[in-house]
Structure 1
Amino acid sequence: MCEVKEELKMKEHRPDLCSRYIKIFIVVSCYWIVSIATVFVNKTLLSSQSVALEAPLFITWFQCVVSFTICYSLSKSGGIPKVFTFPSGTPWNIEVVRKVVPLSVMFTLMIATNNLCLKYVGVPFYYVGRSLTTVFNVVFSYILLGQTTSYRCILCCGFIIFGFYLGVDQESLLGSFSLIGTIYGVIGSLMLSLYSIFTKKVLPSVNQEVWLLSYYNNAYSIFLFPPLIMLNGELSALRNYNNFDSTYFWFQMVIGGICGFAIGYFTSLQIKVTSPLTHNISGTAKACTQTVIATQWYNESKNTLWWTSNVIVLASSALYARFKQVEMEENSRKPIPEEKQSLV
């Protein structure tokens, strides 16, 4: 009798497990598709002759406008029924502005330098060009938070730096190296690291709601970008541009903005249905696939050492994520000393 009950339970459990795996597969696939598509769409907007607009920060600003419009609409409607609920909140509250704007400055500089990097470097090199985020995370976590890092994680950072150097060296030998693009990539990595660290401090101000923070960041970036656009000398390019009346141009711009919003949604969704570690591994594998696709798409031939640099960076980043996950699990199992326990 007990065996029959166990068999029935197993049969009931299998469809649930199967549906869960199908859901994870769909979410991860959507993340890969949207993430890779976003990089290629942005590269087209920033560098292709079909757009031919030398105003990368204006393009980035417009994407923030599209993301803000979507977030504003979802905030008013409460989200998408049976898909997800969008938290209520307004970015125009003085207290919220005071607490979130410093982070929004980092957010603005981060996406600006990322797109400037993508404008000047090829898509195959884009991941390596922005690969120092992990290294900056370790440095700033120690300087700003006083958090130490294990020797094996530091060793992974050493390999990432070596892979980055090797990639730069091989790009130079192949004649496709862009110094300004690589500098923007390093600055983008630095800003992403700072943004990640300070996000933890700002999230309590928005009730731990990642969507609200994204909504507010895009709202404030709309006002933070115009001075950067002027400093980058893009006003003359905008005045002399002849395709503002082109439906195809605005279609590309809107698609770029939707992709920017979608990647944030699928990133959060992937973390939700899997785990932060799985997300990191998925992102690493996606970067590898993106590099292979890009070399085929743009008909670029790379030598063995160039591919070796990519493998070193990808493997070191994945190992770092795994080591940090193991350390977090070990720390969570350690008993808290009685004198440090909360009275609650």
Structure 2
Amino acid sequence: MTLAQQNVAKPPSKALVFGTVLFYMVAALSMVMANKWVLNTTSAPLFFLLAQLFVAIVLFLGAHTVGLIQIPLRLDLDVCKGLVPMVALNVVGLSASNYTLKFVDASFYQVARGLVLPFTVCTSYIVLHSRPSLRILFSCSIVTLGFFVGVFLDAIPMSLVGVSFGVASSVITALHSVVIKKALDVVKGSAMDLSWYTNLLSAGVLIPLMLVMGELPEVKKLFFPPEQAVVVPHARLGLLGTFLWGSLIAGVLGFMMSLASLLSIKVTSPITHMVSSAVRGVAGAVLGMWVFGDVLSTGRTSSIAIILSGSIYYTWIKHVESQQAASSPAKSGYDRIPLEEVEAGKTVGLNGKPTPE
């Protein structure tokens, strides 16, 4: 859409913008809490992800049946081949996100995945040859500083395994923002078809991957728990009940977020999107403390604040530079990946999931 077309188009109502942002925030926070709730009771994060995908697939089919959406029920082999990189990144990225949340506190999850922005800018430069400005690099350095503050200067012991998975997840998310552009071309620009294909194909990939990773004994424990199984304090429903309810909640929320993310990109500006992400990050840390008893130390709080400050500064700089490029297109030397597209990529790809945020 050109700048002239944007000016002519009727802006979305404040109520629609507020409703979209509020729903997306609540759904994303609820998904993180639901994921952590289940992952505290099981050591089968891949099977948990598979269960969520199954719920999303059923919901896709149901929505198609009632006419809410239209998806291709007959799979195109050429499309499936073209989506191999997309599906591979989604499976690895979401698996890494689940493992991150398995090993770190809910309040620390944002810190563990705090390098998404710097990796995205680097990926944009390497793959798309998008040369960032010095102010963009400065914003990335602020975010990186916040990550190192949380990892190395926090007094609370943390899992280096969880942090490593968080870094890996950040790298995959950055690569995903590039691959999704090509994946959309494969499905002729239909984000809904892309979401449907990646859900279905990723579920197929996760089944053998789950077996290779040795999760079968843990799955067996879910359905046939040993008599002396330890009951987690907040797993009052039992291991299987917690797993099933958590999978249902996360799957439903993920499906709804995959729809809401499309609307979010259309009705919200990048600044609104980033501010809502910042609020969501703070709320997630507070909820982690309230629901799971996480400790918010000075180092952890400072880390979150620095990461959010750098992200907001990036969004402001990106907005200023885009305005300058629009007024003088001849001076625009590169096309950076908008951060809101990174967020959309995480949700459009696999049932809107965190990747919990």
Band of TM-score, shorter chain: 0.7 to 0.9
Partner of 1:8: none
**How big is the shift at 1:332?**
2.7
Q: Secondary structure at the match of 1:302?
A: coil
User: TM-score, structure 2 length as denominator?
Assistant: 0.80
Residue among 250, 268, 271 paired with 2:244? 250
Query: Cα distance, 1:246 vs. partner?
Result: 5.0
Superposition map of 1:95-114 within 5 A: 95-114=78-97
**Bigger radius of gyration, 1 or 2?**
1
Equivalent residues in 2 for 1:317-332, closer than 5 Å: 317-332=311-326
Unaligned runs of 5+ residues in structure 1 are: 1-15, 80-85, 338-344
Counterparts of 1:246-325 in structure 2, within 5 Å, are: 249-325=243-319
What SS does the corresponding residue of 2:126 show, helix, strand or coil?
A: helix
Change over 3 Å in CA distance of 1:295–1:246 after alignment to 2? closer
Structure 1 residue 208: deviation in Å? Answer: 1.8
Q: How far is 1:253 from its partner? A: 2.0
Structure 1 residues 278, 240: closer, same or farther in 2, change over 3 A? same
Determine the C-alpha separation between the residues in 2 that align with 1:145 and 1:74. Answer: 36
Aligned length: 309
Map residues 8-27 of structure 1 onto 2, 5 A cutoff.
Answer: 20-27=13-20
Q: Which residue of 2 aligns with 1:174?
A: 156
Give the alignment's Cα RMSD to 1 decimal.
2.3
CA offsets 1:54-98 (integer angstroms, 9 cap, x no match):
21100011111111221233234331xxxxxx2443461012111
Q: How much has 1:336 moved relative to structure 2?
A: 5.2
Partner of 1:202: 183
Aligned in 2, Cα 1:203/1:332: closer, same or farther, shift over 3 Å? farther
The 1:327–1:75 alpha-carbon spacing in structure 2 relative to 1, beyond 3 Å, is: farther
C-alpha distance in 1 between matches for 2:329 and 2:176 = 31
Calculate percent identity across the aligned residue pairs. 28
* Secondary structure class of the residue paired with 2:83: helix
Q: 235, 240, 256: which is aligned to 2:221? A: 240
Q: Which amino acid aligns with 1:212?
A: D
- 1:83 aligned residue: none
Structure 2's unaligned 5+ residue stretches are 1-9, 226-237, 332-357
- Picking from 182, 190, 197, the partner of 1:216 is 197
Q: Which has the higher contact order (CA 8 A, sep 6+)?
A: 2
Task: Give the structure 1 partner of residue 129 of structure 2.
Answer: 146
What's the CA shift string for 1:273-292, capped at 9, x where partnerless?
22233212211221112112
Query: Which residue does the alignment assign to 2:56?
Result: 67
Within 2, Cα distance between the matches of 1:273 and 1:111?
A: 26
* Greater share of helix: 1
SS in 2 for 1:240: helix
Residue by residue over 1:112-135, the C-alpha shift from the partner in whole angstroms, topping out at 9 and shown as x without a partner, is: 111110011001100111111111
Deviation at 1:248, TM superposition (A): 5.7
Task: Decide whether aligned partners of structure 1 residues 28 and 226 sit closer, same or farther in structure 2, where only a CA change above 3 A counts.
Answer: same
Given candidates 33, 40, 54, the residue that maps to 2:43 is: 54
CA–CA distance in structure 1, aligned partners of residues 136 and 74 of structure 2: 38
Q: CA deviation at 1:267?
A: 2.6
